[in-house]
Amino acid sequence: MADLTSDFIGIKSPNPFWLASAPPTDKEYNVRRAFEAGWGGVVWKTLGEAGPPVVNVNGPRYGAIHGADRRLLGLNNIELITDRPLEVNLEEMARVKRDYPDHALIASVMVPCEEKAWKDILPVIAETGCDGFELNFGCPHGMAERGMGSAVGQVPEYIEMVTRWAKEATPLPVIVKLTPNITNILYPATAAFNGGADAVSLINTINSITNVNLDAMCPEPMIDGKGTHGGYCGPAVKPIAMNMVAEIARNPETATLPISGIGGITTWRDAAEFMALGAGNVQVCTAAMTYGFKIVQEMISGLSQWMDEKGYESTADFVGMATPNVTDWQYLNLNHITKAEINQDDCIKCGRCYAACEDTSHQAIAMSEDRVFTVKDDECVACNLCVNVCPVDGCITMRTLAPGEMDERTGQPVSGDYGNWLAHPNNPSVTAAE
């Protein structure tokens, strides 16, 4: 059996699946249930400084985007950091860590952008026995309006400054949680690296309004006739998160910075994809809120089985393996040509491929009078749209053509060397093709 034991920046856990800082990690009861269900670690819901309590709304806190089958695709939340007293959270964290010493317990922290505030609170939290800290520079609502969260995470100079304060205040590992609400993720990642961060985690939630109540003419969730922007998460944000993870992992200045991947992870495959792009472990929230804590058991068994099939003995064997294959557009091999193929045995004759290609693409699919759909190779540019709109998995595939291969109907070459004009001395794909 594959060994799923995780060692992320010196923090050990039974597996690489951690619960992200969020409502599921807000109290001892939840965290104990999570560990019993199989989660390898948790990032405790963000703690703030002692003093005036945080007050959350007593109304709807979530907005949602659903698929046609009511499957949850995206979740928007307007909830703030923990509204429970700091001392209560610390007592509960200490008990949990005492009873589950082999599981990772990370403290998420957010206080005002003042040196004393950070240096006062971190040693106090460390007394719980927690394994490390996650600095929350990502929350896009509520706390950002108070000069915290993404208000810090959008300013690289602040990230570097606060990270230095944290590293001076504690010997424990420090993870910096990055906001996606920024033009270029490399700026905050580099700032965290320069500040001495042991790792970064990303992404935090995306600033959003999910829907509008057209009767009340108000964004939802609606609180007494008013709405506000919130943080968007769930399966819909996965592509955005993976791109940002890959950008950090392949950038020479940040390539050595460990990454904890977050954003729409629902299955073992999602986790494996994040890790292949460079994440050392993953954090999950929306999937647990949708399906319950025991979803981690499917993630564990699925990842373990896949690793066995591939011959990977540990997660370290495949972390970052896909990173070298992430490149910029100008380095893609224009000599590589594919064409769509329709499996007539699987085709249900719905016509989606034809409609999509005829109306919005390259008119490369023909329809006979008896609704048999075929690909016109001389018109097909291999855009892959037909594959994506086809409701039958595997019915339409893309076949790679050999150099100089001839179209049987036209007798003309359907692949060639017309891409060589874009050849670049630093483009290994074009060089290899030549």
CATH number of the domain bearing residue 76:
3.20.20.70
Mean pLDDT computed over 2-14? 97
Q: What is the mean pLDDT of the chain?
A: 90
Task: Write down the pLDDT at residue 418.
Answer: 39
Cis peptide before 221 (omega within 30 of 0): yes
Task: Write down the pLDDT at residue 424.
Answer: 42
Mean pLDDT computed over 72-92? 88
According to DSSP, the β-strands at 259-262 and 199-202 are: parallel
- Confidence class for position 330, pLDDT limits 50, 70, 90: very high
Of 325, 359, 389, the last residue of a domain is 325
Residue 319 forms part of a structural domain:
yes
- Confidence class for position 138, pLDDT limits 50, 70, 90: low
Residue 283 forms part of a structural domain:
yes
Same domain, 32 and 172: yes
Q: What domain range includes position 363? A: 329-433
Same domain, 317 and 416: no
Query: Percentage of the chain surpassing pLDDT 90?
Result: 74
Same domain, 230 and 351: no
Residue found by looking up tokens 């490399």 in the block: 186
Residue 380 forms part of a structural domain:
yes
Residue 276 forms part of a structural domain:
yes
Query: How would DSSP label each residue in 160-224?
Result: HHHHHHHHHH-SS-EEEEPPS-SS-THHHHHHHHHTT-SEEEE--PEEE--EEETTTTEEES-BT
Same domain, 267 and 407: no
* Least confident range of 58-72, 89-103, 119-133, 357-371: 58-72
Check whether 307 has a pLDDT greater than 50.
yes
Residue 187 forms part of a structural domain:
yes
Same domain, 312 and 358: no
Task: Write down the pLDDT at residue 429.
Answer: 46
Mean pLDDT computed over 375-393? 95
Same domain, 289 and 249: yes
Task: Write down the pLDDT at residue 419.
Answer: 41
Cross-strand bridge partners of residue 398: 340
Amino acid at site 361: S
Catalytic one among 113, 130, 139, 386?
A: 139
The CATH code of the domain that includes 425 is: 3.30.70.20
**In the 8-state DSSP scheme, what is residue 226?**
B
Per the structure, the count of domains in the chain is 2
- Confidence class for position 134, pLDDT limits 50, 70, 90: very high
Same domain, 142 and 173: yes
Same domain, 193 and 314: yes
Task: Write down the pLDDT at residue 49.
Answer: 81
Q: Taking the alpha carbons of 302, 305, 306, 307 in that order, is the dihedral positive or negative?
A: positive
Residue 26 forms part of a structural domain:
yes
Q: Report d(CA 93, CA 273) in Å as an integer.
A: 31
429 vs 140, residue with greater confidence: 140
The SS3 call for residue 434 is coil
Element (H, E) at 283: strand 281-284
- Confidence class for position 354, pLDDT limits 50, 70, 90: very high
Same domain, 400 and 276: no
Same domain, 23 and 123: yes
Residue 1 forms part of a structural domain:
no
Task: Write down the pLDDT at residue 413.
Answer: 60
Task: Write down the pLDDT at residue 405.
Answer: 74
Query: Mean pLDDT: which of 218-227, 235-244, 403-412 is highest?
Result: 235-244
The tens digit of pLDDT for each residue in 390-427 reads: 999 999 999 998 877 765 655 566 544 434 434 444 44
Of 325, 352, 370, the last residue of a domain is 325
Residue 255 forms part of a structural domain:
yes
Phi (first) and psi of residue 116, to 5 degrees: -65, -40
Q: What is the pTM of this model?
A: 0.89
Per the structure block, which two tokens stand in for 324? 């070298």
130 labelled catalytic: no
Query: Percentage of the chain surpassing pLDDT 70?
Result: 89
Same domain, 335 and 259: no
Same domain, 306 and 367: no
Of 301, 325, 349, the last residue of a domain is 325
